[in-house]
Amino acid sequence: MVRQIALLLPLIFAVGTAMAEDDQPFSNWFNDPFFQVRDGVAACPVPLGPLLPLSQRNAEAHYRVERGTSCWLEGKCDKANAYLYDAPIGEAIRQRFSQSPQFHDSSLWITVQRKFVMVQGCAQEADVGAQIEALINTVPDVERVILQLVSSPQEKPPYLLAPTPPKVPNVTE
């Protein structure tokens, strides 16, 4: 009996750890710009964006230090860390969308990390991706635009979903 319990302890621990992670709150631990710029498609799935559980925060912090400083070490950034560009890039993108009459029949969320801009959501027009990318590429210091869009909220999105709809700043209001 004692041996059977001893054999089950690792399984019990693993299940308990998995349950504890599921109960952890997700947060934008590194304050990455994450906001909605369009809300024209009802029921469009909300992306996870930069939200992480506490259990992944430290591993991500280590990874971010390596990725962020490599930009400066390679001579590609004037600032010491590529993540230092993200807040100004995010503000410039908000401004571009607030001044643009385009894409109002879309629901779009923006995440900025390390000069990369992720656009996630629903865009009903098939050719809208190239137009969104062109608008974002007018922002200084944007290194890459990554589009992850679906044409309907019924489609399976190519991005991870928020565990529950988080309060994401919406610049369309």
> Cα separation of 171 and 39, whole Å?
9
Q: Alpha helix locations (H) across the chain? A: 2-23, 54-73, 86-99, 128-136
pLDDT at residue 89, rounded to an integer: 98
Structure tokens at 48: 């996870």
The tens digit of pLDDT for each residue in 124-168 reads 887 899 999 999 999 999 999 999 999 999 999 999 999 865 556
pLDDT band at 173 (very low <50, low <70, confident <90, very high): low
Show the domains of the chain with their CATH numbers: 29-52+84-150 (3.30.300)
| Whether the predicted model's global pTM rises above the 0.85 cut | no
Instruction: Identify the residue whose tokens are 């100004």.
Output: 88
The tens digit of pLDDT for each residue in 19-50 reads 345 567 889 999 999 999 999 999 999 999 99
Sign for the CA dihedral angle at 16, 19, 25, 29 comes to: positive
pLDDT at residue 130, rounded to an integer: 95
pLDDT at residue 11, rounded to an integer: 34
